[in-house]
Amino acid sequence: MAQHNLAVIAGDGIGPEVIAEGKKVLEAVAATTRGLSFRYTEYPWGSDYYRETGLMMPADGLELLQSADAILFGAVGDPKIPDHITLHGLLLPMRRAFDQGVCVRPAYLHPGVTSPIAGKTAGQIDMVIYRENTEGEYAPVGGRIYPGTPYETVMQTNVFTRRGTERIIRAAFEGCVKRNKKHKVTSITKSNAQAFGMVFWDKVFQQVAAEYPQIKTESLLVDRAAMDLVRWPESFDVIVASNLFADILSDIAAVVTGSMGLAPSANINPERQHPSMFEPVHGSAPDIAGRGIANPLATILAVGMLLEHLGEAQAAQRVEAAVVRCLAERKALTGDLGGRATTTQCGDEVVRLLRMG
């Protein structure tokens, strides 16, 4: 048991609303666990900070975060600021500077939740997506020449390093072994079209797979995988894919398991030299921001992943169990799940269930 120092960046849109519920759950865990406490350092970074300063975070922002045990992040994105400025100004620098190359995104169809895919029953959809998180299509490599002329030329380069590719693929296999479910890892690329980076990815996948003969493997093109995630989501166990593909596919995985508002995400620095970051998969949802109706459960599940990462396994299980019960009982769910509860009421219900044990 310990005191954990958490950096908290609520960010934009619904970020502050869902982060408030995540912190409420952390406080309930601390209040009911002898010797466990959290110290929060809040950073008011994001789009409002950008409007004041011209930066999404201060120049020494990453230095300030480095000493945290973990980062709890809300959301980034503002309709009045170009998305590439907000994303490249706050979220992506953290993932890269803290070498958070392994992004883990579980998707599970819980009892009490209806999938939009007809006939799917609770537990039938159960997968974890491993997203390469620091390079691939998100690498800030490229340029533009002759802007505004007929010769305007823009290049955007994908980056696949052996270290980054092998690391995420190995993490997926290790995750599959630990999960001990369908024993299958699906690698998703577009190597028929992307004949350098993704052919390389496929080769590394085969090399790493050879070390895990007990695990079934499958390589799918991303278009086929998108189709299968909708028509046969139950066929997946562990998925591993590049930064962009896994980002897109994890949105599909989230909606087939009921809602974007249920999808947590852990951005892990496996070497633990830097803080890892925990956030909901969803963005800032400006259309519902400030209305108190955002679903806080993705953030609360991310809090569970944060606790697990900090070695507080029992606390993590309690948080997950409270969310599972909240979903199954359907007494305080938000509108995206067919309920009428506010963000706060849903968070309060998780706290109540957590305290009941």
Write out the residues near ligand GGG by the rule CB under 6 A. 75-77, 87, 247, 279-280, 282-284
Task: Give yes or no for a contact between 276 and 100, defined as CB atoms under 8 angstroms apart.
Answer: yes
Cα–chain-centroid distance for residue 39? 23
**3-class DSSP state of 97:** helix
Cβ atoms within 10 Å, residue 181: 12
> Residue 245 CB, nearest distance to ligand GGG (Å)?
11
- Residue 261 or 283 having the CB closest to ligand GGG: 283
> Residue 283 CB, nearest distance to ligand GGG (Å)?
4
> Residue 250 CB, nearest distance to ligand GGG (Å)?
9
Decide if 212 is catalytic. Answer: no
**3-class DSSP state of 185:** strand
- Residue 211 or 287 having the CB closest to ligand GGG: 287
What is the rounded distance in angstroms from the CA atom of residue 116 to the CA atom of residue 324? 19
Q: 7 has which bridge partners?
A: 41, 71
Decide if 83 is catalytic. Answer: no
- Residue 91 or 208 having the CB closest to ligand GGG: 91
> Residue 95 CB, nearest distance to ligand GGG (Å)?
8
Instruction: Sort 3 into a burial class: Cβ within 10 Å, 0-12 / 13-18 / 19+.
Output: exposed
DSSP 12: S
Catalytic residue among 43, 190, 237, 348: 190
Catalytic residue among 99, 247, 336, 348: 247
What is the rounded distance in angstroms from the CA atom of residue 123 to the CA atom of residue 103? 22
Decide if 287 is catalytic. Answer: no
Decide if 237 is catalytic. Answer: no
- Residue 87 or 221 having the CB closest to ligand GGG: 87
Structure tokens at 176: 């599959």
> Residue 76 CB, nearest distance to ligand GGG (Å)?
4
> Residue 242 CB, nearest distance to ligand GGG (Å)?
11
Catalytic residue among 69, 78, 126, 251: 251
Decide if 69 is catalytic. Answer: no
- Residue 217 or 250 having the CB closest to ligand GGG: 250
Of 25, 6, 1, nearest in space to 301 by CA: 25
- Residue 19 or 209 having the CB closest to ligand GGG: 19
**DSSP string over 49-92:** HHHHHSSSS-TTHHHHHHT-SEEEEEE---TTS-HHHHIIIIIH
Of 61, 1, 94, 17, nearest in space to 280 by CA: 17
Phi and psi (nearest 5°) for 136? Answer: 60, -135
User: Would you name the residues annotated as active-site residues?
Assistant: 138, 190, 223, 247, 251
